[in-house]
Amino acid sequence: MHYTLHQLQIFLKITQTRSITKAAEELHLTQPAVSIQLKNLQDQFEIPLTEVIGRQLYVTDFGAEIAIAVEKILGEVYAINYKTLAYKGQLSGRLKLSVVSTGKYVIPYFLSDFLKSHQGIELVLDVTNKARVIESLEKNEVDFSLVSVLPEKLQIEAIELMKNKLYLVGAGKEVGDIKSNTQNILEELPIIYREEGSGTRYTMERYISSNNLHVQKKMELTSNEAVKQAVIAGLGYSVMPLIGIKNELMNGELSIIPVKGLPLSSVWNMIWLKNKSFSPVAAAFLVHLQKEKGRIIHEKFAWFENYVAREALS
């Protein structure tokens, strides 16, 4: 057999995502490239690794056994790389994070300097909804999770990073006709929701419930980017985090609709399981956050802080 590490990495990602398309996205490869490498690996086995029924890809029992072996092989390869770097006196290893989808606008800035200072660190970053983030933390699959709503049933520790504020927004050209600024405006507009398990949806629904509002759900979408594009296209309105709509506000594609009780406020927290035994990499990253978060917020999110200040003065 002559399979390559590249083929094994691709196959393992396919078994994890159950999708060639999703595997290609996460590996930053084209779908045809992933399909070709899967075929090249499959050609070396007489027994199928995967099968497609309808449009759904399934991993066979044999494929699942091979995936377990592949994970062990790749783990040993990573260990060799890390030990080589450690022998040279460099901090090395994997840093594993799960991040709620709105956190993708925040987390890169808290990682950038740390990763540049330690070239031997491999980042594994899963950006998904709140439910999946908490699940990965509960299963101890990650070192840290970034959330805007703290889990209620897990024993955790946390470091507060920065504020999160959510506003009612609409397409720039549509907002000019809206005069009412009372909470009841949400009952009059077609509202676009995030999917179940989203922290943004949880925060929005808590506000709606606490004010006894009867809101018309126009549609439900699975990412903030999808919601943003739908609002820009004039398909409805939504409660969205300020952090993700800066450019659209500046160029007039989106406008904030002032509403009593808004913005909704939460806090992005980096959390980890209580009594977790940190790797040297995870411990170093926590020290980095504690030491540098103030500087990072000041340097990278001044526009956000200034916006909040103007809001408070108005």
pLDDT exceeds cutoff 90 at 249: no
pLDDT exceeds cutoff 60 at 146: yes
Using CA atoms, how far apart are residues 247 and 93, in angstroms rounded to an integer?
36
CATH architecture of 163-266: 3-Layer(aba) Sandwich (3.40)
User: What is the model's pLDDT at position 314?
Assistant: 44
Strands 144-147 and 264-273: antiparallel
Q: What percent of the chain has pLDDT over 70?
A: 91
**In contact, 134 and 147? CB cutoff 8 Å:** yes
CATH architecture of 5-83: Orthogonal Bundle (1.10)
pLDDT band at residue 312 using 50, 70 and 90 as cut-offs: very low
pLDDT band at residue 53 using 50, 70 and 90 as cut-offs: confident
pLDDT digits (tens, 9 = 90+) for 151-173: 888 899 999 998 888 999 988 77
Pinpoint the residues of the chain covered by CATH 3.40.190.290: 163-266
Angle between helices 5-17 and 20-27 (to 10 degrees): 120
Which of 49-53, 73-77, 255-259 has the lowest average pLDDT?
73-77
Could you tell me the two tokens for 1? 């057999």
Pinpoint the residues of the chain covered by CATH 3.40.190.10: 91-162+267-313
CATH architecture of 91-162+267-313: 3-Layer(aba) Sandwich (3.40)
Pinpoint the residues of the chain covered by CATH 1.10.10.10: 5-83
- Classify each residue of 197-209 as buried b or exposed e, where b means 16 or more C-beta atoms within 10 Å of its C-beta: bbbbbbbbbebbe
User: What is the model's pLDDT at position 83?
Assistant: 66
Could you tell me the two tokens for 200? 């943004």
pLDDT exceeds cutoff 60 at 309: no
Q: Which residue has the higher pLDDT, 64 or 216?
A: 64
pLDDT exceeds cutoff 90 at 112: yes
Give the residue-averaged pLDDT of 118-128. 86
Which residue bears the tokens 């990495």?
9
Q: Which residue has the higher pLDDT, 70 or 181?
A: 70
Q: Which segments within 136-282 are labelled E, that is strand?
A: 144-147, 156-171, 190-194, 216-221, 238-241, 254-256, 264-273
User: What is the model's pLDDT at position 180?
Assistant: 59
**In contact, 167 and 256? CB cutoff 8 Å:** yes
Using CA atoms, how far apart are residues 280 and 93, in angstroms rounded to an integer?
8
